[in-house]
Chain A
Amino acid sequence: MNWISISKREDLPKNREGVIRAAAVVLSIVCAGIVIWILGYNPIQVFPSMVTGALGSEIRLQQTILKAIPLIVTSLGILVAFKMKFWNIGGEGQILMGALAASYIALNVDGLPKPVMLLLMAIAAMVAGGIWAFIPAFFKAKMGVNETIFTLMLNYIAIKYVTYLQYGPWKAPESKGFPKVANFEQNAIMPELFGIHIGWIIALVCVVVVYIFINHTKKGFEITVVGESRETARYAGMNISSIIIIAMLISGGLCGLTGMIQASAVEKTLSVNLSAGYGFTAIITAWLSRLSAIAVLFVCIAFAILLQGGTYIQISMQIPASVADMIQGIILFFVLGSEFFLQYRVNLPLWNQKVKEVA
């Protein structure tokens, strides 16, 4: 008899699925706790401290939401691409290019009323992010060029380009040698509502729009079919190239919008650091959401708590923020692993036998 046998599950009741997923998250927290403990900190202090650091006061809560906003919008962008199995890991670059375009408008167009100005910036950002995603999409669609490497290389190019601008032509003369782009005028800065910039409304609207787009439009259906099976899409007479390109324009456009939000509302200028790794974290959150727009909202808030908590323990307990990065990785490892137990049943015949013998 074999000591282990694996078989495919037929159907899994929803509550069992929930149990397995919850177990994965709990296990990952336990594992992260062990890592934190090995690193010489007390996990029993660290975790609660992270939670209070993220939710404990109004200001902290606002900070958490401020982190959730770019994460949600970017994750939605990534979701649209991943739905098609187009591995867009160029979120960082698309965010930066969006921020760049928005900044160009903000710095060069004068005297527009605030709503018009912001709208113009948002459009410019979405177009720029879209173009940055269009390039790899075009080559993928027409020549089958590997999109993973392509989008990633475009990240580096965007970073270098924005750095170049920040240290060179766009450096503000009044910054006295400090490499910084000039601050936006007041009419290019997003207004606030309930103490947080209106990006949170944009994020919520995006969740609804992307949900409807994926689940209730013909284009969304086409994207899903292309992701499931290229051959079937071809068979059904879909124009695969144009679907890839349109989906990536949307994906890059959403990432670009994140760039505009961050530049306008948070940094109030163009900075090479404004993407802050959201383009990568969004890959995790989009996947954890199982590519569902509604789930993105909740997963991103959970991750924002993790990020804000990580920032907080950095100050309160002198724990480097990179611990939060590692915890993210560990959680995703566990969730990726748990997918297996959703799809397969693992039997341990010898173990069962022993249990029987004992009983």
Chain B
Amino acid sequence: MGQPLKAIEMKGISKAFGSVKANEDVELTVYNGEVHALLGENGAGKSTLVNMLSGIYHQDSGTVRVNGNEVRFSSPKDSIAIGIGMIHQHFKLVDVLTAKENILLGRSSGLFRNSKQLTKEIRAISDRYGLDVDPDKKVYNMSVGEKQTLEIIKVLYRGARILILDEPTAVLTPQEIKRLFRIIRNMKEQGCAVVIITHKLNEVMEISDRITVLRRGRTIGTVDTDKVQVGSLIEMMVGKKVDLAIRKEPPAQPMRPLLEVDNLHVVGHDRKSALADISFTLHEGEILGVAGVAGSGQKEICETIAGLTKAEKGRIFFDGDNIIGKTPREIIRLGIRMGFIPEDRLGMGLVGSMDIVHNLILKDYQNQPGIFLKRGPCAEKATAIVRRLDINTPNIYYPVKKLSGGNIQKVLLGREIDSDPRVLITAYPVRGLDIGASYKIYDLLNEQKSRGAGVLFIGEDLDVLMDLCDRIMVFCVGRVSGIVDPSKVTKEEIGLMMTGGKEDAAHELDQHQ
């Protein structure tokens, strides 16, 4: 393709947050008409780097050139104006507005909202790139896939020629990923430069032309995708040779039922059905995975079992006793040992501003006699957990929110497994963790399994679910669409089950609302 133009050229980029150096002397060059993957572990500085391209952060030092000209962004507005479009990992859309209104947002031209013209322009862009979204649909009624499509249309409408996608596949089904990749290839053919951030190697190999690997805030190197092996990519990412296979022992035999959920119905906060007709059995010594599009009822099933959410109807048997309708306090009083790692670690599982000791007290204090709080036993326990899980903290009286993501998760997990739980519920336990920390968590879960605990594992990465779990239960809009043996199905089959057998999850979601 001749000598293509450099769309982006970043040189000597450094950026620090307090004492944490997120980027140090990073280099990145992206050509027009190429798909460039930015690869690295969580915390390697990928998002920081692209957020400087989108004008959200400012580099402490280094230069950025776009199409050959040096640029200096003081806000996202400047970045948009120069033709950079960023699709953030957490969509930056306003829920109560329609698709059209979201597209219009921040456009400075014109005083009033000219609807008809805009609708026409949206249609034109949609047709050109093969995108589809209803301009008058409110964002809160959209599926994850639709929201992402809307984000893409939004940046294209602003005339973006350089697209940056931050972890775009994390929340998509295999089918949706395929469709996204079609769109990306389409844009590449139109001469756009596309930067895609991900830590999933198979996707990198499939979609990208070149790959830049970051590790601990530094550039390790840029390689051509067709000239590189997955093994050496991993080595570049992690810094050493690692085996990414997850250890899986067969589940305990015979399979003794531990937790039986029978015909469970739960109504969500918005008074819509969140879970309908859920029935499954969790056995001792197994890891039961839960797969599904985000928001398919994962949060509700966890919270209902843990006694935090009331069920409309149905029964949950623990060792033969019905625990439905029991509060967490009553469950503890029944002597049922249950551990729960919620999705929102600092917002729900822990108190960020409190230290490790007080976060341990959180679970413990209700069993203490009298009206006074005893800290002593928990301080000892804290020391033990810090040592056992190798938690990197200055001391046990350090506020947990100041710890790194992996260490925060270890504090939470450490507390939950401390009581030797018989049931362990974990929601996205490795989200945001680096590879080392993730594998530590997998090991701990396997340890619990071999100890005889039943583990419910809510996951989002289908590869991990298939490697780690003994069985996978697939959720589709609040219903169980099947429980499968991961060795007997493909990812694509699970993906289809997640969306009710249809290509487009959006329609499915619509019908249920």
Would A225 and B18 count as touching, CB distance under 8 A?
no
Q: Which of A7, A10, A219, A237 has the most CB of B within 10 A?
A: A237
Residue interface bits B86-107, CB-to-A below 8 A is 1, else 0: 0000000000000000000000
B67 within 8 Å of A (CB atoms): no
From residue B395, how far is it (CB to closest CB) to chain A in Å? 12
Say if the beta carbon of A9 comes within 8 Å of chain B.
yes
The answer for the CA separation of A9 and B17 in the assembled complex, in Å, is 9
Contact with B along A221-245 (1 / 0, CB 8 A): 1000100110110111101000000
Across the interface, do B18 and A9 meet the contact criterion of CB distance under 8 Å? Answer: yes
Q: Residues 316-353 of chain A: 1 if any B CB is under 8 Å from the residue's CB, otherwise 0? A: 00000000000000000000000000000100000000
Question: How many of A's residues come within 8 Å of B, CB to CB?
Answer: 23
Judge whether A228 and B353 touch: CB under 8 Å. Answer: yes
Bound state CA distance, A7 and B15, in angstroms? 11
Set of chain A residues within 8 Å of B17, measured between Cβ atoms: 7-8
Task: Evaluate contact between A236 and B354: CB separation under 8 angstroms.
Answer: no
Query: Which 7 A-B pairs have CB atoms at the shortest separation, nearest pair first?
Result: A237-B328, A231-B348, A237-B329, A10-B18, A228-B351, A236-B362, A235-B348
Residue of A nearest to B361 (CB): A221
9 A-B pairs whose Cβ atoms sit less than 8 Å apart in the complex: A7-B18, A216-B373, A217-B372, A217-B373, A218-B366, A220-B373, A232-B350, A232-B362, A237-B328
Inter-chain contacts of A9 with B (CB < 8 A): 18
Interface status of A175 (Cβ within 8 A of chain B): no
Give the interface residue-count category, chain B. Answer: 35 or more
In chain A, what residue has the closest Cβ to B330? Answer: A237
Q: A236-B362, A237-B332 are in contact. Are A10 and B402 (CB under 8 A)?
A: yes
> Which B positions have Cβ atoms within 8 angstroms of A?
16-19, 58, 74, 306-308, 327-329, 331-332, 340, 342, 344, 347-354, 358, 361-363, 365-366, 368, 371-373, 402
A108 within 8 A of B: no
Contacts of A218 in B (CB 8 A): 365-366, 368, 371-373
Given A8-B17, A10-B18, A237 and B327 touching (CB < 8 A)?
A: yes
A2 contacts B by Cβ under 8 Å: yes
Q: Is A5 engaged at the interface, CB distance under 8 Å to the other chain?
A: yes
- The interface of chain A, by Cβ under 8 A from chain B, is 2, 5, 7-10, 216-221, 225, 228-229, 231-232, 234-237, 239, 345
* Min CB–CB distance B403 → chain A (angstroms): 12
- Complex Cα distance, B352 from A239, in Å, reads 20
Partner of B351, one of A2, A7, A217, A225: A225
Query: In the complex, what's the smallest C-beta–C-beta distance from B408 to chain A, in angstroms?
Result: 13
Task: Please indicate the chain B residues that have their CB under 8 angstroms from the CB of A221 in the complex.
Answer: 358, 361, 365, 373
The complex places the Cα of A345 from the Cα of B342 at a distance, in Å, of 33
A residues in contact with B327, CB < 8 Å: 237, 239
What residue in chain B is nearest A221 (Cβ atoms)? B373
In the docked arrangement, what's the CA distance between A239 and B366, Å?
11
Contacts of B347 in A (CB 8 A): 229, 231-232
Residues of A within 8 A of B353 (CB): 228
In the complex, chain B residues whose CB is within 8 Å of the CB of A239: 327, 329
CB distance from B397 to the nearest CB of A (A): 13
Q: Is the CB of B74 within 8 A of A2?
A: yes
B19 touches A10 (CB 8 A): yes
CB proximity of A275 to chain B, nearest CB, Å:
32
Residues in chain B near residue A237, CB distance under 8 A? 307, 327-329, 331-332, 366
Q: Tell me the minimal C-beta distance from B357 to chain A in angstroms.
A: 12
Residue numbers in B under 8 Å from A345 (CB-CB): 18
Set of chain B residues within 8 Å of A225, measured between Cβ atoms: 351, 354, 362
Once bound together, how far apart are the Cα atoms of A235 and B18, in whole Å?
32
Q: Knowing that A7-B16, A235-B340, A236-B362 touch, tell me 13 more A-B residue pairs with CB under 8 angstroms.
A: A2-B58, A5-B58, A7-B17, A7-B18, A9-B18, A218-B373, A220-B373, A221-B361, A231-B344, A235-B306, A235-B308, A235-B342, A237-B332
